[in-house]
Amino acid sequence: MYELGIVKRHITRAERGAVDRLAPFGVATVHEAMGRVGLMKPYMRPIYAGAQISGTAVTVLLQPGDNWMLHVAAEQIRDGDIVVAACTADNDDGFFGDLLATSFRARGARGLVIDAGVRDVKVLTEMGFPVWSKAVSAKGTVKSTLGSVNVPLVCAGALVQPGDAIVADDDGVVVVPAAMAAKAAEAAAAREANEGDKRARLASGVLGLDMYKMREPLERAGLKYID
Amino acid sequence: MYELGIVKRHITRAERGAVDRLAPFGVATVHEAMGRVGLMKPYMRPIYAGAQISGTAVTVLLQPGDNWMLHVAAEQIRDGDIVVAACTADNDDGFFGDLLATSFRARGARGLVIDAGVRDVKVLTEMGFPVWSKAVSAKGTVKSTLGSVNVPLVCAGALVQPGDAIVADDDGVVVVPAAMAAKAAEAAAAREANEGDKRARLASGVLGLDMYKMREPLERAGLKYID
Amino acid sequence: MYELGIVKRHITRAERGAVDRLAPFGVATVHEAMGRVGLMKPYMRPIYAGAQISGTAVTVLLQPGDNWMLHVAAEQIRDGDIVVAACTADNDDGFFGDLLATSFRARGARGLVIDAGVRDVKVLTEMGFPVWSKAVSAKGTVKSTLGSVNVPLVCAGALVQPGDAIVADDDGVVVVPAAMAAKAAEAAAAREANEGDKRARLASGVLGLDMYKMREPLERAGLKYID
Amino acid sequence: MYELGIVKRHITRAERGAVDRLAPFGVATVHEAMGRVGLMKPYMRPIYAGAQISGTAVTVLLQPGDNWMLHVAAEQIRDGDIVVAACTADNDDGFFGDLLATSFRARGARGLVIDAGVRDVKVLTEMGFPVWSKAVSAKGTVKSTLGSVNVPLVCAGALVQPGDAIVADDDGVVVVPAAMAAKAAEAAAAREANEGDKRARLASGVLGLDMYKMREPLERAGLKYID
Amino acid sequence: MYELGIVKRHITRAERGAVDRLAPFGVATVHEAMGRVGLMKPYMRPIYAGAQISGTAVTVLLQPGDNWMLHVAAEQIRDGDIVVAACTADNDDGFFGDLLATSFRARGARGLVIDAGVRDVKVLTEMGFPVWSKAVSAKGTVKSTLGSVNVPLVCAGALVQPGDAIVADDDGVVVVPAAMAAKAAEAAAAREANEGDKRARLASGVLGLDMYKMREPLERAGLKYID
Amino acid sequence: MYELGIVKRHITRAERGAVDRLAPFGVATVHEAMGRVGLMKPYMRPIYAGAQISGTAVTVLLQPGDNWMLHVAAEQIRDGDIVVAACTADNDDGFFGDLLATSFRARGARGLVIDAGVRDVKVLTEMGFPVWSKAVSAKGTVKSTLGSVNVPLVCAGALVQPGDAIVADDDGVVVVPAAMAAKAAEAAAAREANEGDKRARLASGVLGLDMYKMREPLERAGLKYID
């Protein structure tokens, strides 16, 4: 993986309907529905609270201190995409700001996930263009070395294939392989179906110990109550 | 300390009245009133700004990636408690979310302090359930290895005994030994009593150099003014 | 540099008009206008979102766990200053709180930039006194060892001379040498002048690839499009 | 990827001859020969200096605080393998010590690469069993939750497929896709071929500026020499 | 805990014989024998490889940037002690160097464990005076603010009572409560007794899967072997 | 400061004799002799233990992921220099390896101090070419963007002017302004002169408390001895 100097124009995007169904469940539920895999590292934080989106990944591999490929990526964005950018080395420079956000939005992007830095966060917040990043930095970047667009890459510890479904909210970012998007949406829905009932019971004072029948396994594991 | 597989049911909680008087003073003032001890490390951050609480500690010792003992702890919560959770190893997983918060609140908990990760932060914020944590992460946990409840433990660098008073706000978290809660409240009140006057004088342009009579000791220490 | 035990009373401040023109451009634009130099490290974060200020630097060199020199610095503040504080060693203690903020404001300070910790952030937020810091911590400090005021120092990786222009916003903090303030304001204005047009074109769907004429250099660099 | 509870028994290993030719080139050269891709993050450090190995990857996905799957992995080791272990969450526990090293060596393993902690480093050093890890920690682990063996995984930021060639030395760890091992060995050999000559010329005082013909491009880029 | 300005002269040290029996087992084994508790955080590293010691804790609580209390502590050292120092705030200054080491050794100290910085490491290495620390730094400290000696404290996440047994080696540092030292030594001996046999069997190629009878519980947990 | 695209050919180097006298004192003593200023941050670590050097600074400002200016710097090296390199943004790439070391040594360089990454550390160790760096990484760099040579810069938190004296050993790196080198050497010599006597007294069991006459000030500060 990680071929440099490549732009893949045609990628297989996760089915739109399934992708759109994922956002309301949120990252924690989708991650559980997937069998607890696909999460990016928790250092990826939103630039403002409250955004909750899903979309299909256009991937960008950047070089440290160089945002040239984000401009190349803009052309590959289709309506409903989320740009997912990684860098060949840890780097906190501000690779992305309000001009690129304007361009990405005009192309149909719903947000950006970048394992590096971002700037103009006040304007981005006013625009309502959500970004999940490793850092905020005003440090500018050059445009001189090639990376790639729409190659598989590792972003914040998670493998992302172009076209994969991405879900992001205040808890972080999760990747759903394109072929599993529909199944993940179903599993998330099933999972959430009985959460309302559980929540009501817990709110009434029922203990998880009883609701989840944990007392017996705890005792078997050797838990001792003392006074 | 740190015995594993133990739940202590009866603990001596700091006196409620004293504990309740602590919250309005805030963490910095209580910490000063205590002689500058008992603070957790500054990496403990609130999931949303503005919460300011005090309560009595129910302590939970967790294993990495395993939140079983939080369910065990729920049963031990009494009205006015704050759950204080530590882990036997550094771990940023999301040990706590909105279902546990619903249960904790139903049991009377005022908040959670956890030296690990938390998830569902958007819902927790909407619920107004305050959490101070080391990380936010959607990563789920298992329920298979015993820790303990209501044992003394070290949370974010501070020793916490079950029943201790806890104060938490935007500045962090401070631990007040149960037997010192009343005295700490008094000392905090005394400290704050003359802050109003100080603030007014400083606001009028009086210098701390003069108000605190620092000029002479500064000169003795060798401070030189040059032009 | 870094002479200890010195307070310089007379410093040459950047020209006020130029300094005041810098704030609206924001840190990223000023940093670009300066030729991409002078930024502090991205770990410097505002205690609340949205503040955007410029001012002239009163510098303070602190000792770890000791905020004595902040009191000394208060006397040197003139209307329109920003206090810039560094520490002789990494230290996250809460060197600054609401009383010092009251005093600094009364002396005319517009904000604080400190490569260390700050406390009372809730009150500071209510006061609207902006602070950029490395950490938030309720940990108190002593007053027993001399540092210096208005000496050149390194704050978060950037060299600051007393009197330099400082610009700070949600993206971070940038230092403009006093003699360059007017020129930086001009360059920032020139830079921003054609941003509106660029933004409009990008918003209409024009690609940066075409607007910035990147296609030819990308091809020359060897970029390959594949299907 | 990241299916849990799976052990893949038959994997396609990189060709042994090619793999064995890689070690002497070292990580930096192989990484260059690969087009500068495939490196693990630089926080992966050897437990002792001087080891330089290559081998084929047996991959292990661990759960935090749980080393069960390392025991499962032992059975899948073939002569010439390097075990590559990642964890579903950041965790510094000591997953591996001298007993597992004894077992791994008996099965033919040449070393371990683990994005987590290791212990018994003094004995491992005496045994000459090389390990690259994120941490050293005596903290023990449990054996209760399933991970997987020989699934694709991300280790320290690099994608590893079971059977890939791994090269590790004091500079870090690089992953070579199984199908590219022979080609990488050739490219590394070609690269090293003219290093001897370059080194001799540089040692004689010839400047890289002249040897690499950099003066003209530097001038074109605008470099100015001043006195 | 953490009373400031106190020196406790008489402490109850763990029984010498038991303490001396602990060193040869090493940290990992003692930690296991204790039920996996009492470890300091893994960021505590030895300044040179190969030291393996045990001793009784003389505790020192330091203020940031101030090593006064280490001089006070020297007087409290008895033959066989290990000095364990923590700081009221994170601080990497070089609190300890070769002169203090000379003094500590003359008083009978076997080493130092310090959750802060140390300097003169080359000379300390030549002297064979082992130190486990968070950092190495030449930064000097002042002598102006009181801490305490022989109070309970938290060092690198572990609670230490004066007189506790300390074991330190290349894997880190573990604390054994004074009253448990003899029992821990026995448990460690028992644990090590059958390690030789295990090692031999593993070296002969026997799998842990069989030796520890893991196949059945793995199958019950749902592990699937695929080809 | 930090002008880009500049090479200053003529710099005023600290006087050679004074510079050469500094190395044997080591970093901690020189830093003390200077009044405790000029130290680089403690994350700067030697690639191998035991090197102790002094020299005059040739400074290099690098761009992230780009080592072009190290080649430019080679030409500016004179016998007895130490190259001091900083980067416009945090970056751990391997900017320097054995070929550059061969060239630097041929030009007379005594070592490298780089606030970034280095590679080929095994060969550098065999060559005995000492490097102090923030990281070790095999990651290669490009040669496409200008930085500067022999401009003032901030390296690991310390201001360095071209020509300044640099001292580096296992404790870290300290910068001595060129004009102060002779004075610093004298002060270091004076400081060391009475260290031998102090060491002998401490070794004989005399306490620092008595030797430094600390008992009275400690009592005045309020220290209490309890039993």
CA-CA distance, C34 to D61, in Å (whole number)? Answer: 48
- Extract the tokens encoding D112: 């371990």
F50: left (phi over 0), alpha (psi -120 to 50) or beta: left
Give the type of residue at B120: D
Q: Is E199 on the interface with D (CB under 8 A)?
A: yes
Interchain contact, F90 vs A89, CB within 8 Å = no
Distance of CA D194 to the CA centre of its chain: 25
Q: What are the tens digits of pLDDT across the range D99-130? A: 999 999 999 999 999 999 999 999 999 999 99
- The answer to whether the CB atoms of B205 and C106 lie below 8 A apart is yes
> Which two three-digit tokens encode residue A86?
């990684």
Under an 8 A CB cutoff, do B121 and A172 touch?
no
Nearest chain A residue (CA) to B9: A227
Average pLDDT taken over every residue of chain A: 96
Residue D163 structure tokens: 């059977």
Q: What is the 3-state secondary structure (H, E, C) of A183-196?
A: HHHHHHHHHHHCHH
Q: Rounded to a whole number, what is the distance in angstroms from the first to the last CA of chain C?
A: 59
Under 8 Å between Cβ of E112 and E96: yes
Nearest to B89 among D88, D93, D145 (CB): D93
E215 contacts chain D (CB < 8 A): no
Q: What tokens appear for C57 in the block? A: 């630097």
Q: Which chain D residue is nearest to residue B94, measuring alpha carbons? A: D89
pLDDT by residue for chain E (227 residues), tens digit each? 457 999 999 999 999 999 999 999 999 999 999 888 899 999 999 999 999 999 999 999 999 999 999 999 999 999 999 999 999 999 999 999 999 999 999 999 999 999 999 999 999 999 999 999 999 999 999 999 999 999 999 999 999 999 999 999 999 999 999 999 999 999 999 999 888 899 999 999 999 999 999 999 999 999 999 99
- Put simply, whether E136 touches C (Cβ < 8 Å) is no
Residue with tokens 């005295």: B183
**pLDDT at position F7 over 60:** yes
Model confidence at D1: pLDDT above 70: no
How far is Cα D85 from Cα D118, in angstroms, rounded to an integer? 11
Question: Alpha carbon of D202 to those of D33, D169, D193, F95, F105: distances in Å?
Answer: 22, 25, 16, 17, 9
Phi, psi of F177 (to 5 degrees): -50, 140
Chain A residues in contact with D152 by the CB 8 A cut-off are: 159
Residue identified by tokens 């204005």 is C189
Whether B209 contacts chain C with CB within 8 A: yes
Confidence class for position F195, pLDDT limits 50, 70, 90:
confident
Q: For residue F3, is pLDDT > 90?
A: no
Mean predicted confidence (pLDDT) in C15-21: 98
**Long-range pairs of F218-226 with CB within 8 A, sequence gap ≥ 24:** F218/E68, F218/E72, F218/E146, F221/E5, F221/E144, F221/E145, F221/E146, F222/E5, F222/E146, F223/E5, F223/E6, F223/E7, F223/E72, F223/E146, F224/E5, F224/E6, F224/E7, F225/E7, F225/E9, F226/E6, F226/E7, F226/E8, F226/E9
| Mean pLDDT score, A45-66 | 98
How long is chain B? 227
pTM for this structure? 0.96
Interchain contact, E4 vs B36, CB within 8 Å: yes
What local confidence, expressed as pLDDT, does residue D3 receive? 78
**Tokens representing E158?**
């572990």
Instruction: Calculate the alpha carbon distances from E113 to C90, E54, E100, E167 in Å.
Output: 20, 11, 13, 10
The nearest alpha carbon in chain C to B52 belongs to: C122
Give the residue from E196, E165, E195, E185 showing the smallest Cα distance to E56: E165
Find all residues with CB under 8 Å of E174, minimum gap 6, and list them: D138, E27, E30, E31, E34, E38, E39, E40, E158, E166, E167, E168
Alpha carbons within 13 A on the beta-carbon side of F30: 34
Q: Say if the Cβ atoms of E71 and F28 lie within 8 Å.
A: no
Which residues contact residue C184 at a Cβ distance below 8 angstroms, ignoring those fewer than 6 apart?
A: C18, C22, C30, C33, C34, C165, C176
What confidence score (pLDDT) does residue E196 get? 87
Cα F196 from Cα C174, distance rounded (Å): 47
pLDDT over 90, % of chain D = 94
Question: Which tokens sit at A197?
Answer: 């009932």
Please state the φ and ψ torsions of residue C188, each to the nearest 5 degrees: -65, -40
Contacts of E7 in chain F (CB under 8 A): 223-226
Q: Do the Cβ atoms of B181 and B163 come closer than 8 Å?
A: no
- Tell me which residue of E60, E76, E217 sits closest to E154, measured CA to CA: E60
The CA distance from F152 to F148, in Å, is 10
Q: CA of B123 to nearest chain E CA: how many angstroms apart?
A: 31
The reply to whether residue D90 touches residue A35, judged by beta carbons under 8 angstroms, is no
- Which amino acid, E30? V
Inter-chain residue contact E157 with B159, CB threshold 8 Å = no
Residues of E in contact with F170 (CB under 8 A): 121-122, 125, 136
Q: List the single residue in C89, C137, C144 with the smallest CB-CB distance to E145.
A: C144
Q: Closest chain C residue to E144 measured between Cα atoms?
A: C144
What's the one-letter identity of residue A53?
Answer: I
Query: Strand F81-87 vs strand F53-62: parallel, antiparallel, or unpaired?
Result: parallel
pLDDT tens, residue order, chain B (227 aa): 457 999 999 999 999 999 999 999 999 999 999 888 899 999 999 999 999 999 999 999 999 999 999 999 999 999 999 999 999 999 999 999 999 999 999 999 999 999 999 999 999 999 999 999 999 999 999 999 999 999 999 999 999 999 999 999 999 999 999 999 999 999 999 999 888 899 999 999 999 999 999 999 999 999 999 99
Mean pLDDT, residues A35-54: 96
Q: Which of B136, B140, B113 is nearest to B54 (CA)?
A: B113
Return the residue in E61, E142, E143 with the most chain C beta carbons within 10 A, the one to mutate for interface testing. E142
Tell whether C72 is within 8 A of chain F (Cβ).
no
Residues F13-42: what's their mean pLDDT?
96
Closest CA to A132 of A163, A175, A161, A99: A175
Residue F2 scores a pLDDT above 80: no
Mean pLDDT of chain D: 96
- Give residues with Cβ within 8 angstroms of D91, minimum separation 6: B64, B65, B89, B90, B91, D62, D64, D65, D116, D117
**CB of A54 less than 8 A from some CB of C:** no
pLDDT tens, position by position, C147-170 = 999 999 999 999 999 999 999 999
Longest dimension (CA), chain B: 69
- D135 lies within 8 A of chain E by CB: yes
Cα-Cα-Cα-Cα dihedral sign, residues F87, F93, F99, F105: positive
The pair of structure tokens assigned to E162 is: 């004066």
Tell me the mean pLDDT in the region F36-65: 97
Rounded to whole angstroms, the Cα distance separating E58 from E41 reads: 19
Which chain D residues are within 8 Å of F140, Cβ to Cβ? 28, 31-32, 36
Give the one of C171, C205, C227 whose C-beta lies nearest to A121's C-beta. C171
Partner B contacted by A32 (CB < 8 A): yes
E87 vs D108: CA distance, rounded Å: 47
**Can you tell me whether residue E141 is helix, strand or coil?**
coil
Q: Is F163 left (phi over 0), alpha (psi -120 to 50) or beta?
A: left
- Sorted by sequence, the CB contacts under 8 Å of residue E69 that are 6+ apart come out as E60, E61, E62, E63, E85, E146, E147, E148, E149
Closest of F128, F127, F132 to residue F83, by C-alpha: F132
CA distance B79 to B20: 12
pLDDT classification of C1: cutoffs 50, 70, 90: very low
Mean pLDDT value of segment C123-139: 98
Gap from B22 CA to chain E (nearest CA, Å): 19
pLDDT of residue A2: 57
The answer to whether the Cβ–Cβ distance between C74 and B222 falls below 8 Å is no
Q: What six digits make up the tokens of D206?
A: 């010839």
- Residue pLDDT, tens place only, F135-157: 999 999 999 999 999 999 999 99
